[in-house]
Amino acid sequence: MTSILRSSLAGLNMILLAAAPAAAEQWHRPTAHGGELAREVTRDGRVYSGQTTRTGPNGATYSSSSTCFDGVVNRCRRSFSATGPEGQAWSGERYSARGPYRVRSAGSLTGPNGNTVVGVRRHWR
């Protein structure tokens, strides 16, 4: 009996989420040391997407974009890139899954000389 109730509630939840319009928010603000920070977030049902750009007063830039799926297990993907004031560039990506009992994530970072570092992390909540 409870499984029928759970599936009915899950179906109702999917209908309500599908009917929800996409929401977007964006803002810009100056940073404490003369740079600028811009952020845009979009939500379409259970999917969140965002982009961040930060520019420093010395010409350094950082930008990232992420997409997350909100559910029992939240899954996210984020990619980022940065350029220093002397033109050195870094880039990378990170994947994560956050459930009710543990968090798992994996990512990579590529530095200005082309070397790549890969890391994996798992821990209980």
Tell me, what's the pLDDT at 22?
A: 65
Whether residue 1 is predicted with pLDDT greater than 90 in this model: the reply is: no
Domain membership of residue 111 as a residue range: 22-124
Task: Give this prediction's pTM.
Answer: 0.70
Report d(CA 61, CA 84) in Å as an integer. Answer: 7
Asked whether residue 108 is domain-assigned, the answer is: yes
Query: What values do phi and psi take at 5, rounded to 5?
Result: -65, -40
Rounded (10°) CA dihedral 81, 28, 40, 15: 160
- pLDDT tens digits for range 5-51: 344 444 434 444 444 556 789 999 998 889 999 999 999 999 999 99
In a domain, 54, yes or no: yes
Query: 5 lies in a domain?
Result: no
